[in-house]
Structure formats: C-alpha cells, structure tokens
Amino acid sequence: MSDPILPGAMLGVLGSGQLGRMFALAARRLGYRVAVFAPDDDSPTSQVADLAVQAPYDDLDAIERFAEAVDVVTFEFENVPSATVEAAARHAPVRPTGRLLHASQDRLREKAALTSLGLPVAPHAPIIGDDDLATARDVVSMPAVLKTAAFGYDGKGQRRVDAFDALEAAWEDLGRNRAVLEQFVDFTAEVSVVGARGPDGSVALFEPFLNHHANHILDVTVVPAPVGEATVRDAHRIARAVLEGFDVVGVLCVEMFLLADGGLVVNEIAPRTHNSGHVTIDAHVTSQFEQQVRAVCGLPLGAVDRVAPAAAMANLLGDVWADGGAQWGAALSDPGVRLHLYGKRDARPGRKMGHLSVLDRDPATAEQRARAARDAAAGR
C-alpha cells in the first residue's frame, strides 16, 4: 500500500457540481487544497476550490497537465470519458479506478457486473437490435421499465412498458439507443447504502437510508430506515461485495429495492458520493464527503455512527423558487433546520439547488419538519 496523502496536498476532482463542492469543503476543513476540472465556469465546486481548470473532458492534454499538478484524482459524477480517466492515471492515482466508472456508465455492463458478483438484480434483457424485442419475452414479464443503457439519471431515459406490444414504440421514443428492459419490481421501499473503502481494504458502511422519490428524483431521505437487523446485514453484505468486487478505493452508493419479505434487489450503483448521503453531513460523525477524502488519501476511515436518534434530508429543487423566490426566513423559523445551498445561478424546475436537514428524536417527526421547512421556503 502506498503512503497516505497528507493534509496540505492538492486533491483533484473531475466534475464541478454540488457533490464536488461538498467534497471540496470537507477536504479544505481537513487542510487539503482542491483543484477542479470541468467544462463549466462559476460552478458549485469552482466557487470553493483553490484551482479551477475549465476545459472539455476530451482535452486530454489539459487533463494530463491537471493530473500533473495534483496528488490524487477522484470524480463527482460518472459520465467522465474512459480516455479522460486513463490520461489522468498516467500522472496521478485515480480513485476509484476507471473499472468501476466503466461499469457504472452503462446499465448493461452494470447488470452483468452485479450478476457476476452473485448479487440480486431484477430480471432484465438487453434491447440492442430488433430481434431483442421478441427474445425479451423469454426473460422479462410485464410490466417493465425500458431504460437507456447510458447517460440516464433522475428518471431520464426511462419509459414504463405495460405490454410487449408497446415495447417497440417505447424504444423508438428513446431513439432506438442501446437499452435494458427491466422487469418491474414490486417493492415496498427504496433504500440505499453509502460505503467507503480505503487502499488497505478497510471498509466503513453507513446505515441504510430510506428514500422517497417524486417524479423519479430523490425527494426526502430518512434515517434510520424502518428495516430489521437481518435486512441491515443483507444491505451491508451487498454494499461490501460491490466495494470489494471492484477493488474500490473511495466512496460508492448502492441503491436497492426493499421487498415485502425483507429481501433486497439491487437497482443500481453510483461510483461516488450520493444525494441520499447528504443526510450524513449533519446526522453522522463522519460525512460521506469527509469519508471520500479519507478514503482516496489513504487516511483511516471515520466513524459512521449517527449523532441523533433520527434525521431527515429534503431536496430543494428549482421549483421552490417558482413563486417569487425562496423564503429562507420562513424555512429557518424552525431553529433546528439546517440549510445547504449549492451556489447554482439558475433555479430551474427539477434542478437540485440545495437541501434541508433536520435532526430529531423520531424519524417521522424529522421527516415532517424537513417537509414543512421546504414548504415554508416555497411559500406554501
């Protein structure tokens, strides 16, 4: 194992959204400097970074110069081209490696990788050519969800299909791009586990988070999730298997469907910190972002204990600004509400602009207070 990268070093981040911003804030609190590489200007991460390089991800010369100036490279979103990661890796360690990135960028590759690890996934079939429209019947039952293989998130690139007669039209609607047809899972809840793994193989797993979605976008996260100890152990087993199976150094999130019998089915993996893990900033001893810093730098991983009996996180989308601007005074009239804004200039409907967190003695009350604070911010 290589020597740890100690405070004072320069950490490089590919991507400049809110995940990079919160990573940079955690890194700077620990005494690191942060450089960000992205095609955007005045981005959430560049506002708090020591160095911001604005260039396209396919400018490999710029990537190599960037990697030469930092001590380690990590990323805050998965759609970084493989060639970019390979160019950076010629000059600095990239954590996690491009192998995990490559798998998570394509749902077909991701499903194959999860299956190879012996993990439970929904019945699914590739839709790549016309013949697949017919052969999918042998594997998948209706209803199902057709998803583009690449570049889908927050419900983008997805169509529900209730009958095989509607499959071809749904595929046409998605541009006949490579896709995967997934059998609909009759789940009772959606949960996620954020985990970290260091260069020495040490693993730290946060408790499962209960996630509520609205319009395919994460809406509210609540901890602790209302699941039994057996389900917690199973969720942790799955997350550990992914971390170790991909030899991850860094942080990832595994999103899962909870079945009525307490079983779990893996929905997808995110090779980075995750929206549901924002609750850890206020609710846990070590946030997912500090954990990412510790993991990629080879420092001991932090404790994942909760600091309060319960907590909730509510996303703030651009819709909150729709009727004349957000009312932050009203939102913060509950003195226990904590506001996190991401520094984005344009508040568009559906765009993640920030989040609110609440600690409480009871999960239901925490959720109620977080939702009430968001309603107050929107003037409702």
d(CA 348, CA 320): 9
What are the tens digits of pLDDT across the range 41-59?
A: 889 999 999 999 999 999 9
In the beta sheet, which residues pair with residue 192? 209, 255
d(CA 72, CA 85): 12
- Tally of residues, the chain: 380
Give 121's DSSP letter: B
pLDDT for the residue 136: 92
Q: List the domains of the chain with CATH numbers.
A: 10-94 (3.40.50.20), 123-183 (3.30.1490.20), 189-377 (3.30.470.20)
* Amino acid 156: pLDDT: 67
Residue type, 85: V
| Cis peptide preceding 224, ω within 30 of 0 | yes
State the pLDDT at residue 296. Answer: 98
Q: Using 50 as the pLDDT threshold, list the residues of the chain that sit under it.
A: none
Residue found by looking up tokens 């209706």 in the block? 142
Instruction: List, as one string, the DSSP characters of 205-248.
Output: EPPPEEEEEETTEEEEEEES-S--HHHHHHHHHHHHHHHHHTT-
| DSSP codes of every residue in 266-299 | EEEEESS--GGGGGHHHHBSS-HHHHHHHHHHTP
d(Cα 209, Cα 154) in Å, to the nearest integer? 18
Please, are residues 318 and 353 in contact by the beta-carbon 8 Å criterion? yes
Q: Which amino acid is at 247?
A: D
Can you say how many angstroms the Cα of residue 292 is from the centroid of all Cα atoms in its chain? 12
Predicted confidence at residue 342, as pLDDT, reads: 97
What pLDDT, on a 0 to 100 scale, did the predictor assign at position 1? 60
Cα distance between residue 308 and residue 311, in whole Å: 7
Quickly tell me which residue has 């559906």 as its tokens.
350
